[in-house]
C-alpha cells in the first residue's frame, strides 16, 4: 500500500474529484459572484454595475424580511433538531420493544421528496382546508385558529416545524451511528462507578460524540440555508414576499423578475452568511475541544 | 522531479479544460443546421411554455399535428416543451449558448429584450409576402414591433374578463352583471353572494401572481394605456391619482370579502377548481379556459368585462381583447434557406384559415380573423365571450401587464395581490412599482 501514498499518485487520484468539484461547484460560485456586480436580465450581455446590487440589498425591505425569516428558521431548526434528534437517538439506541419499527417510522419523512413534504403540510396547515384549523373548529376552539401559512406572522415558524419533521429521522440515524461507535466497556465502567443515566450522557456520551454533534450541526446549518421546496410549495414566498427565505427570494428575483444581477447578490450574501455561521460554529467547538 | 510532476499535472488540467471547452462549444448556430427525420422531412423545433402540449395546449398541438400530416415527409414540427418558468429559463440559457429552437413562445415582457439582443428574426418580409395573413391579423401584430422590425407574431388572441356561474347568481338572488354594472353595484353583488355561502370571486396568488387577468380591465379603465409610456419614460409615476383610485377599488373589493380566505396558499389552478366545482360564483381568466368551463358549468356560464368606475375620466367601454404573448423565430434560421422555408411554411399554416378553424373548435380565439370561422352552439363559454365582444368596444393594443419589463411586471402582480391581501396600502403598493421601475433602468 506504500505506493499509493506517493505524491504523484495522490494527485492522480484527486484530479477527477477536483475537476468535477471545480466545474460544478467552484466555477459556478465564481460566476455567480461575478454576476452579482452586474446588471443582467438573462438575455444579451451583462453590464458592470459596481456595488449597486449590494447597496440595494441593504435598503430592500424584502431582503430584511427574508433574512429575518431565515434566521427564525435557523434558530428554531438548530435548537429543536440538535436536541430532539439526539434525545430520540438515545431512546432508539436502547433495546426497547418496537425500536426497529420506531426507527423506520422516524426515518420515513427523510425519504419523501421535499416537494411532497410541502404538499402534505399544505393539507395540515392551510387556513381553509388544513387539518389543524378544521380540528380547532370541530372542537369549538375557533379562537385558536390562525393563518399557519400564508399569513404575516406564522409562516417561518411553520416552515421550521416542517423542516424539523423532515430532517429529524436523518439526523437521528447519524446520532445512532455515533452512539454505536462508543465502546460498551466505557459505558459499563461508568455504570460500575455509579454514574446515573444523566451523568453518563453528560460526562461520557456527549464528550465522546463531539465529532458527530459537530457533523450534525454543520448539516443543520447548511441545510437551513438550502430550504427551498418547502417554502415554494407551502406559501410560494407569499403573501407579498412575507414568507420568503434568502434562497427563495434570490430565486424569485433571478427567475421571476429576471434580475439576475440582484438575484446573484442575494445568493452571494447567503453563501457568505452560511460560511460565516459555519466558521463561527467550528471555531467555538474547536476552542472547546482544545 | 517535483517540477516534472507539476508540469504533468498542469498539462492534464489544461487538456481537460480544453476538451470540456470544445464540447461546450459544439452547440453554436444549431438553429441554422437542417436536421431531417427518417422520412427526410426538415425538422423544426418549436419551444413551447407547457410541459405537455397535448394536454395543456390542445389547440396548438392539434394545429401542429395537422401541419405535420399535411406536409408529411417534407416538414415536421417537434415540440421542445417545458412549463412556463422552466421554459423561460431554458430559452435564456439556450440564447446564451446558441441552441435556441427555430420557433419559440416568449413572454411578452421578455420578448423586447430578446429583440434588442438581435436574437430574433424580423418577420416583416414574411408579412409582406403573405398579405392575407397580415389582413387577417388586423393590426394585432403591431404589439410586437420595435426598431428592429416585426420581432414576433401573436400566439393567440386573448380575451380576458370575469366568467360567472349563473346558477349560483340565481341561488343568491343576484342579478347577472351587465356591461353597465358599476363598481358600487359590484360591491353589493359581492356581499349578497358571500351571504349565500359561496366565494364571490375565486383567485389564488401562490406561485401564480400572474393570474390577475380580470384586473387588466380595471387598469385599462383607469387610463393605463394613456399613461404607461409617460411612466416608463420617467415623466410620471405609477403612484398617481388614477392608479391610486384603481388600487383603492381593489382594496374595496377585498374588504367586501370577494376573495377566498386562503388566496395566499392556493394557486390559479386551485382557484379555478373552486369555480369549476360551483364553490365560487366568479373567476377571472381568459379564453384558454373556455373548454374546461363548457365541461363543468355548461350553459350556466356567463362572461363579463368587470365593473365600470364612475370616478374615472378615462374610457370605460373597453373590451380586453388583446394579443397574447408572441411566438418568435430564431434569427439564425435566416442562415439556411431550407430551414427558413420550413419555418415560413409553418407560420403560413399557423396563421391560415385551417388553423383558425382548429382554434375555434378548441374554444380558443386565434390571432387571425377569418369571416367564415366561428364557434358552435355547444361552446357556451366562447359564445358568452363573443356576445360580450359584440358591443364593438375599443380594444387596447396590449394587456396592461404585458406592457412592462419582467421586473416591473412582477412588481405589478406583487403590488396588486398585496393590496388584495391587505399587506399593502394602495399608495405603498404603487411605490413598490416605481421602485422596481427605477431599478430596471
Q: What percent of chain A has pLDDT above 70?
A: 97
A→B contacts (Cβ < 8 Å), by residue, are 7-8, 11, 15, 19, 23, 41-45, 56, 122, 126-129, 147, 149-152, 232, 234-236, 238-242, 252, 255-259, 262
Q: In the numeric block, which cell numbers belong to residue A44?
A: 444579451
Q: What is the pLDDT of residue A237?
A: 86
Give dist(CA B404, CA A41) in Å, integer: 14
Checking if the pLDDT of B6 tops 70, the result is no
> How much is the pLDDT for B25?
39
Helix spans in B222-336 (H): 224-232, 241-255, 268-276, 290-296
Q: Is the N-terminal amide bond of A239 cis, ω within 30° of 0?
A: yes
pLDDT tens, position by position, B341-378:
999 999 999 999 999 999 988 888 889 988 766 778 88
Task: Find out whether B434 and B232 touch, Cβ atoms under 8 Å.
Answer: no
Q: If you measure CA to CA, which chain A residue comes closest to B418?
A: A240
- Helix, strand, coil percentages, rounded to 5, for chain B: 50, 15, 35
* pLDDT at A8 (0 to 100): 82
CATH topology classification for B158-322+381-440: D-Maltodextrin-Binding Protein; domain 2 (3.40.190)
Mean pLDDT in residue range A265-270: 95
Q: What does pLDDT average to over chain A?
A: 89
The candidate with the shortest Cα–Cα distance to B136, out of B383, B350, B382, B389, is B350
ipTM: 0.74
Task: Give the H or E element holding residue B303.
Answer: strand B301-304
> Are B301 and B161 spatial neighbours (Cβ–Cβ below 8 Å)?
no
Judging contacts by C-beta atoms under 8 Å, the chain A residues touching residue B16 are 19
Chain A positions touching B328 (Cβ under 8 A) are none
SS3 B104: strand
**Chain A: residue whose CA lies nearest to B270:** A129
CB distance A238–B417 less than 8 Å? yes
Query: Which pLDDT score, from 0 to 100, does residue A96 have?
Result: 76
Predicted confidence (pLDDT) per residue in A120-130, tens digit: 999 999 888 89
HEC sequence for B130-191: CHHHHHHHCCHHHHHEECCEECCEECCEEEEEEEEEHHHHHHCCCCCCCCCCEHHHHHHHHH
Q: Do B265 and A150 touch (CB under 8 A)?
A: yes
Does A198 or B305 have the greater pLDDT score?
B305
Q: Alpha-carbon distance A44 to A264, whole Å?
A: 17
Query: In whole angstroms, what is the distance from residue A12 CA to residue B13 CA?
Result: 11
Q: Where are the domains of chain A?
A: 50-289
Give the model confidence (pLDDT) of B307-335 as tens digits.
Answer: 999 999 999 999 999 988 899 999 999 99
- Residue predicted with more confidence, A206 or B372: A206
All residues at 6 or more sequence positions from A195 whose CB lies less than 8 Å from its CB, including other chains: A203, A204
- Picking from A40, A125, A257 by the largest number of B CB atoms within 10 A of its own CB, the best residue to mutate is A257
CA-based torsion, B71, B77, B78, B82: positive or negative? negative
- What would the CATH number be for the domain defined by B30-154+325-366? 3.40.190.10
Q: What is the mean pLDDT of residues B87-106?
A: 91
Contacts with A41 from chain B: Cβ below 8 Å? 110, 113, 405-407
Give the chain B residue nearest A153 (alpha carbons). B423
Half-sphere exposure of B78 (CA within 13 A, CB side): 10
pLDDT of residue B370: 81
CA distance to partner chain A, nearest, from residue B379 (Å): 33
CB A255 to CB B262 under 8 A? no
The partner residue sitting opposite B417, judged by closest CB among A11, A149, A239, is: A239
Share of residues in chain B with pLDDT > 90 (%)? 67
- Are residues A203 and A190 in contact, defined by beta-carbon separation less than 8 angstroms? yes
Given an 8 Å threshold on Cβ–Cβ distance, is A8 in contact with B116? no
pLDDT computed for residue B24 by the predictor: 39
Q: Residue ranges of the domains in chain B?
A: 30-154+325-366, 158-322+381-440
Whether residue B17 is predicted with pLDDT greater than 50 in this model: the reply is: no
| CATH number for the segment(s) A50-289 | 1.10.3720.10
Mutate to test the interface with B, among A39, A42, A65, A129 (most CBs of B within 10 A): A42
User: Is the predicted pLDDT of residue B74 greater than 70, yes or no?
Assistant: yes
pLDDT tens for residues A63-109?
999 999 999 999 999 999 999 999 999 998 887 777 788 888 888 88
User: Between B92, B266, B440, which is nearest A43 by CB?
Assistant: B92
- Contact (CB, 8 A) for B100 and B119: yes
| pLDDT value at B29 more than 60 | no
Asked if B324 and B140 touch (Cβ cutoff 8 Å), the reply is: no
Quick: pLDDT tens for B182-234. Answer: 999 999 999 999 999 999 999 998 877 788 999 999 999 999 999 999 999 99
Q: Is the peptide bond before B194 cis (omega within 30 degrees of 0)?
A: no
- What is the per-residue pLDDT for B8? 54
| pLDDT (0 to 100) of residue B343 | 96
Indicate the average pLDDT of chain B.
Answer: 89
pLDDT tens-digit readout, A279-289: 888 888 777 66
pLDDT at B14 over 60: no
pLDDT of B372 reads 67
Looking at residue A6, its pLDDT comes to 79
Grade residue B7 by pLDDT with cuts at 50, 70 and 90.
low
Assess whether pLDDT exceeds 70 at residue A116. Answer: yes
Q: How confident is the model at residue B30 (pLDDT cuts 50, 70, 90)?
A: low
pTM of the model: 0.81
Amino acid at each position: 500500500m506504500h505506493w499509493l501514498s506517493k505524491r504523484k499518485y495522490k494527485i492522480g487520484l484527486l484530479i477527477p474529484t477536483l475537476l468535477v468539484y471545480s466545474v460544478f461547484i467552484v466555477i459556478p460560485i465564481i460566476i455567480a459572484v461575478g454576476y452579482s456586480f452586474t446588471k443582467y436580465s438573462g438575455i444579451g450581455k451583462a453590464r458592470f454595475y459596481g456595488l449597486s446590487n449590494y447597496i440595494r440589498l441593504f435598503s430592500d425591505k424584502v431582503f430584511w424580511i427574508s433574512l429575518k425569516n431565515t434566521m427564525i428558521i435557523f434558530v428554531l431548526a438548530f435548537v429543536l433538531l440538535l436536541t430532539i434528534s439526539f434525545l430520540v437517538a438515545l431512546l432508539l439506541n436502547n433495546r426497547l420493544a418496537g425500536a426497529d419499527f420506531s426507527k423506520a417510522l422516524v426515518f420515513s419523512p427523510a425519504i419523501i421528496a421535499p416537494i411532497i413534504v410541502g404538499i402534505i403540510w399544505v393539507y395540515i396547515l392551510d387556513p381553509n382546508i388544513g387539518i389543524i384549523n378544521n380540528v380547532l373548529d370541530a372542537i369549538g376552539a375557533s379562537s385558536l385558529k390562525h393563518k399557519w401559512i400564508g399569513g404575516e406572522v406564522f409562516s417561518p415558524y411553520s416552515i421550521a416545524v416542517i423542516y424539523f419533521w423532515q430532517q429529524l429521522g436523518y439526523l437521528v440515524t447519524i446520532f445512532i451511528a455515533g452512539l454505536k461507535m462508543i465502546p460498551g466497556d466505557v459505558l459499563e465502567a461508568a455504570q460500575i462507578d455509579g454514574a446515573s443515566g444523566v451523568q453518563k450522557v453528560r460526562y461520557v456520551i456527549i464528550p465522546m460524540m463531539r465529532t458527530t454533534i459537530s457533523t450534525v450541526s454543520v448539516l443543520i446549518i447548511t441545510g437551513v440555508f438550502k430550504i427551498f421546496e418547502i417554502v415554494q410549495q407551502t406559501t410560494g414566498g407569499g403573501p407579498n414576499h412575507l414568507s420568503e427565505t434568502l434562497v427563495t427570494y434570490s430565486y424569485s428575483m433571478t427567475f421571476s423578475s429576471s434580475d439576475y444581477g440582484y438575484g446573484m447578490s442575494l445568493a452571494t450574501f447567503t453563501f457568505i452568511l452560511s460560511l460565516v455561521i459555519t466558521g463561527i460554529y467550528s471555531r467555538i467547538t474547536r476552542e472547546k475541544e482544545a | 522531479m517535483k517540477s516534472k510532476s507539476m508540469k504533468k499535472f498542469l498539462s492534464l488540467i489544461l487538456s481537460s479544460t480544453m476538451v470540456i471547452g470544445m464540447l461546450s462549444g459544439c452547440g453554436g448556430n444549431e438553429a441554422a443546421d437542417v436536421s431531417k427525420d427518417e422520412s427526410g422531412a426538415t425538422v423544426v423545433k418549436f419551444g413551447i411554455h407547457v410541459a405537455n402540449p397535448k394536454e395543456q395546449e390542445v389547440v396548438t398541438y392539434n394545429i401542429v399535428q395537422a401541419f405535420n400530416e399535411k406536409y408529411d415527409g417534407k416538414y415536421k414540427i417537434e415540440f421542445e416543451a417545458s412549463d412556463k418558468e422552466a421554459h423561460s429559463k431554458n430559452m435564456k440559457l439556450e440564447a446564451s449558448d446558441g441552441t435556441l429552437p427555430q420557433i419559440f413562445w416568449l413572454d411578452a415582457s421578455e420578448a423586447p429584450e430578446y429583440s434588442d439582443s438581435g436574437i430574433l428574426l424580423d418577420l416583416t418580409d414574411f408579412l409582406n409576402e403573405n398579405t392575407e395573413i397580415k389582413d387577417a391579423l388586423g393590426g394585432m401584430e403591431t404589439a410586437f414591433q420595435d426598431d428592429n422590425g416585426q420581432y414576433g407574431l401573436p400566439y393567440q388572441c386573448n380575451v380576458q374578463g370575469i366568467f360567472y356561474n349563473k346558477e349560483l347568481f340565481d341561488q343568491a338572488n343576484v342579478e347577472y352583471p351587465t356591461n353597465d354594472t358599476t363598481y358600487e353595484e359590484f360591491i353589493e353583488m359581492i356581499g349578497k353572494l358571500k351571504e349565500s355561502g359561496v366565494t364571490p370571486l375565486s383567485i389564488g396568488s401562490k406561485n401564480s401572481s400572474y393570474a390577475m387577468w380580470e384586473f387588466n380591465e380595471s387598469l385599462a379603465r383607469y387610463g393605463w394605456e394613456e399613461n404607461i409610456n409617460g411612466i416608463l419614460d420617467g415623466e410620471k409615476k405609477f403612484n398617481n391619482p388614477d392608479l391610486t383610485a384603481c388600487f383603492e377599488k381593489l382594496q374595496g373589493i377585498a374588504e367586501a370579502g370577494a376573495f377566498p380566505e386562503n388566496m395566499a396558499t392556493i394557486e390559479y389552478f386551485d382557484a379555478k377548481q373552486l369555480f369549476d366545482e360551483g364553490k365560487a360564483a366568479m373567476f377571472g381568466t381568459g379564453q384558454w379556459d373556455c373548454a374546461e368551463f363548457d365541461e363543468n358549468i355548461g350553459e350556466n356560464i356567463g362572461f363579463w368585462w368587470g365593473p365600470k368606475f364612475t370616478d374615472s375620466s378615462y374610457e370605460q367601454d373597453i373590451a380586453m381583447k388583446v394579443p397574447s404573448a408572441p411566438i418568435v423565430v430564431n434569427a439564425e434560421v435566416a442562415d439556411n434557406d431550407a430551414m427558413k422555408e420550413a419555418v415560413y411554411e409553418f407560420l403560413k399554416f399557423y396563421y391560415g384559415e385551417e388553423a383558425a378553424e382548429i382554434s375555434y373548435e378548441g374554444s380558443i380565439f386565434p390571432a387571425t380573423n377569418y369571416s367564415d370561422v366561428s364557434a358552435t352552439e355547444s361552446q357556451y363559454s366562447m359564445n358568452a365571450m363573443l356576445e360580450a365582444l359584440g358591443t364593438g368596444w375599443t380594444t387596447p393594443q396590449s394587456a396592461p401587464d404585458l406592457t412592462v419589463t419582467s421586473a416591473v411586471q412582477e412588481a405589478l402582480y406583487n403590488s396588486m395581490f398585496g393590496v388584495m391581501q391587505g399587506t399593502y396600502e394602495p399608495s405603498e403598493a404603487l411605490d413598490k412599482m416605481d421602485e422596481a421601475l427605477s431599478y430596471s433602468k
